[in-house]
Amino acid sequence: MELHIEDRPRHYCGVFGIYGPGLDVARLTFYGLYALQHRGQESAGMAVADGWRIELHKGMGLIPEVFNDRVINDLRGHLAIGHVRYSTTGASHPINAQPLVFHYGRGQIGLAHNGNLTNTESLRRQLAAEGAVFQTTTDSEVIVNLIARSGGRDLEEALAHCVREIRGAYSLVILAENQLLAVRDPYGFRPLCLGELGNAVVVASESCALDTIGARFLRDVAPGEIVVLDRNGMNSIQVARREHWAHCVFEYIYFARADSCIDGFNVNRVRRKLGEQLARECPADADIVLPVPDSGTPAARGYADGSGIPLEEGLMKNRYIGRTFIQPSQNQRELGVRLKLNPIREVLAGKRVVLVDDSLVRGTTSGKIVRLLREAGAREIHLRLSSPPITHPCYYGIDTSNRKELIAAEKEVEEIREFTGADTLAYLSLEGLLGAFGDYGRNFCTACFDGRYPVPVDGGGSCAVFKYK
């Protein structure tokens, strides 16, 4: 039995692409994907083109489990795309690993997708009725079919037609034998940025991947923009515009790496501001502030700054534990947390603790951490979350599509406090969260907190029109 240790929503995916004549694009893609490993740990893949054909290698597991020197040396070309995946639609199975590579009327095409379409079912039925045959169970294959069946004059026009048909969240990198395209959905749900490495142009889900390979950040891909990279350089096509966007605010709360900059905001700085605001909104009479490592650390620093209570490291994280482990028996579920987090008794004994984490989804892991701290001698535990309660499922690429899994959808705050065993529990307000972005706060999707979905979902009549107040 596999146990996912962290009680958090899992990331969607990460994508990377590079157009770099004269460079070892396969090795650069390997390092870029390594930097994006936090966005997906079920499978990884890379497709490389040399102007004549596309070579593909992918598999289940982490980057070093899927790739080695021999594989990388065999992937030769001057343009490449890569992908790390968590399954959001489609089972966790080798056939669903990306990039997807197909033959079609114009040659070969490869695609890597970060996000989740919301009209997959209707499009899939339509394509199947027209004779399409699907090899995977992912929504990404729907995109490939739409591109292949488009009557556009070239790949750019075919992709523009596709953008008009698909709904939902998507940042895509698309590979042809001698061309690389990137596109971001019109709401900008998923991040995507551009970088420069000498004469090469790089596309990545997060700027940390650019930093890793030594590329210079150029800009974010605009929502509704198609970027074309080929021997003619870099060209941009704006195929859709909206008055306001709907960036996923959870990128800043938890998903993105703290050293990334997304749409003009440094993730680490935002998390510290959320912690400062949390201290103002939800004070506690305590001796120390304690982060849940690692994603809760910036917010805990902000809470300490805002409250004047000293920050302490009282939970040590084992960074060598894998994504999952095999449980000997159901009776040893506590072992998952103990393997990953170990309390420092000398720091905690007799102390009143403010325990700061980024979010609480199901509540089970938070309860186990609270018990660990009590066993280590903590006198009081005040749990503070740097996000509002997650009360609604996400249909745009996070694995919280079942509302019954969300403890805040089923219980009041006091009931959640009792469930976790904390002495007090408090969440950051939605106003406090968006306030960290100033006037730009109108450009975020907050559906997981308030149920106001920017884009309708197949069969989901309850989806509201996105509106900011």
Count CB-CB contacts under 10 A for residue 315: 22
**Gap between the Cα atoms of 133 and 148, Å rounded:** 12
Q: Where are the beta strands (DSSP E) in 292-446?
A: 315-317, 341-343, 352-357, 380-385, 424-427, 444-445
Which residues are annotated as part of the binding site for Mg(2+)?
295, 357-358
Strands 168-176 and 79-85: unpaired
Quick one: CA torsion of 221, 224, 225, 226, rounded to 10 degrees?
120
**Gap between the Cα atoms of 355 and 309, Å rounded:** 12
- The type of residue at 227 is V
Q: Calculate the CA 392 to chain-centre distance.
A: 18
Residue located via tokens 């980024």: 358
Which residues are annotated as part of the binding site?
248, 295, 357-358, 394, 445, 448
Q: What is the DSSP string of 44-88?
A: EEEEEE-SS-EEEEEEES-HHHH--HHHHHH--SSEEEEEEE--S
Which residues are annotated as part of the binding site for [4Fe-4S] cluster?
248, 394, 445, 448
Q: Which residues pair with 114 in a beta bridge?
A: 171
Which residues are catalytic, by number? 13
